[in-house]
Amino acid sequence: MRAHNVLIVGGGSTWTPGLLKSICARKNSFPINRLVMLDINEERQKIIGEYAKVLFQEEYPELDFHYTTNKEEAFREDLDFVFVQMRTGGYTMREKDEKIPLQLGVIGQETCGPGGFAYGMRSIRDMVQLVEDVRAKTKDAWILNYTNPAAIVADAIGRIFPEDKRILNICDQPENLLRSYGRILDKDPREFDPVYFGLNHFGWFTNLYDENGNDLLPELREKILSGGFRPVDYEQRDQSWLDTYSMVEQIVQDFPDYLPNTYLQYYLYPDKVKQKLDPDFTRANEVMAGREKRVFEECERVAEMGTSQESKVVHNDAHGEFILVVAESIAYNKGSHFIVILKNEGLVENLPEDAMVEVTASLTANGPRPYSVGKIPTFYKGLIEGQFAYEKLTVEAYLEGSYDKALQALTLNRTVVSASKARDVLDALIEANRGYWPELRSERPAPALV
Ligand code: NAD
Ligand code: G6P
Ligand code: MN
């Protein structure tokens, strides 16, 4: 079994310790030769890096491990996989993405609505740079990307590097949902064969087959309608995530055909969800006071003690395991099935060819072999087309530096709808994102002053 060389970009992420634990747990199925972590923030990288040294000393002593803020050390010819989880602007900017729209009466969320728009406009530039840095050294390395907003990042990267077949954008939420279904049905989620369609953070499960070919979705729907819905790891979740999962019951009551991705709550019930959000204390504040604080304190403690044996630093197993099993399937040509983000090209027959859709695919050494889902009903097609138009206009606004397309994008977004609100939010976000976004110019004449 050939061992691989792996680079983690965004090594100072709050999700990294969980990923490192998964790397240890899977060292026999995905052996790593050299592992490097890269971050632009030296302090964050050092804390997680020192934790990693202790962890690997105990659980993976043969691993050749380094952490750095120096690109020269990170990008090398012999890389096989690059795992990316960066956040341009950090939590400081996430907080603005969430608070600015909320102050103007619109949903404030990091990947949905204007918050996702702002984050997308920031992420594209760094992601393009990352792909260029990797490709300057090797054409062969697989780039597996978690960086959000994955829908917008995937669309932008797909357009800028159309010939690059070794970039795969992934999201752990379908995996979180499958694990949650497993807990409700008391079954091993790895046995599920799911059918799923949509865009990232905007999709639905249509079927959930078991090992005998029975569709478990009708039974699951009944269980959700009678008993509600909770995440698999609800004991460790913050209240805001429990609230999000609990909205699935309402979505299924109103639209019982399929089982929705939790992010659809923001688009289907923007007013109801907005009422539950506090403009003075958003998810970014909850994460900074909770996960971020816990992860960094715990990593420092482990480094001081020199042992990780009693450490409970991992907060979500699905995230770290998912990217590793995806890499394993590609590395060893296993052809396992995963829900991933790919160019449509007929997979959903009645959606635009160039949409980046999320569907089930078999992942092989020669890339993803996705499963087509045929035609989808009008309601879902309509919702997705609106959202895809928003995503496409967002990427075009970035590429062309177009204020007009940015305004069109936000007006199309179901969390906004009103063109005047779209303009107010856009203007405030432009102000807040100076230095991160390209300059946006309007081709239209300025409105006459009265
Ligand atoms: P975080 O801010 O804790 O971590 C991101 C790290 O990236 C920081 O340490 C930061 O310094 C670093 N960084 C920023 N720009 C960089 C660059 N250009 N090069 C290298 N490093 C850079 O954020 P987090 O909440 O831990 O999330 C990390 C990323 O993973 C985010 O993009 C988040 O949205 C994403 N994520 C995606 C999924 C998914 O389902 N796709 C799931 C979880 C997290
Ligand atoms: C899910 C989504 C990710 C997102 C994460 C945010 O896992 O799939 O795309 O980054 O939730 O979680 P947070 O706890 O940072 O709000
Ligand atoms: Mn996601």
Q: At what angle do helices 419-432 and 113-135 cross, to 10 degrees?
A: 50
Q: Which atom of ligand 2 is nearest to the CA of 318?
A: 7
Please classify residue 130 by burial: count the beta carbons closer than 10 Å to its beta carbon, then call 0-12 exposed, 13-18 middle and 19+ buried.
buried
Residue pLDDT, tens place only, 38-97: 999 999 999 999 999 999 999 999 999 999 999 999 999 999 999 999 999 999 999 999
Residue pLDDT, tens place only, 125-177: 999 999 999 999 999 999 999 999 999 999 999 999 999 999 999 999 999 99
**pLDDT in the model for residue 377:** 98
- Find all residues with CB under 8 Å of 100, minimum gap 6, and list them: 108, 114, 115, 118, 425, 428, 429, 432
CB of 48 sitting under 6 A from ligand 2: no
Closest by Cα among 325, 347, 343 to 335? 325
Given 97, 172, 317, 424, which residue is catalytic? Answer: 172
**pLDDT in the model for residue 310:** 85
CB of 175 sitting under 6 A from ligand 2: no
Measured between alpha carbons, how far is 256 from 5 in angstroms, rounded to an integer? 45
Residue 377 contacts residue 211 (beta carbons within 8 Å): no
Closest by Cα among 79, 116, 75 to 94? 116
Q: Which atom of ligand 1 is nearest to the CA of 169?
A: 41
Based on the residue annotation, tell me whether 263 is a catalytic residue of this protein.
Answer: yes
Q: Extract long-range pairs of 370-379: CB within 8 Å, 24+ residues apart.
A: 370/340, 370/342, 371/195, 371/347, 372/346, 372/347, 372/348, 373/195, 373/197, 373/206, 373/347, 373/348, 373/349, 374/348, 374/349, 375/348, 375/349, 375/350, 376/197, 376/348, 376/350, 376/351, 377/257, 379/255
CB of 397 sitting under 6 A from ligand 1: no
Based on the residue annotation, tell me whether 210 is a catalytic residue of this protein.
Answer: no
**pLDDT in the model for residue 316:** 76
Across the chain, mean pLDDT equals 97
Residue position matching structure tokens 């300057």: 136
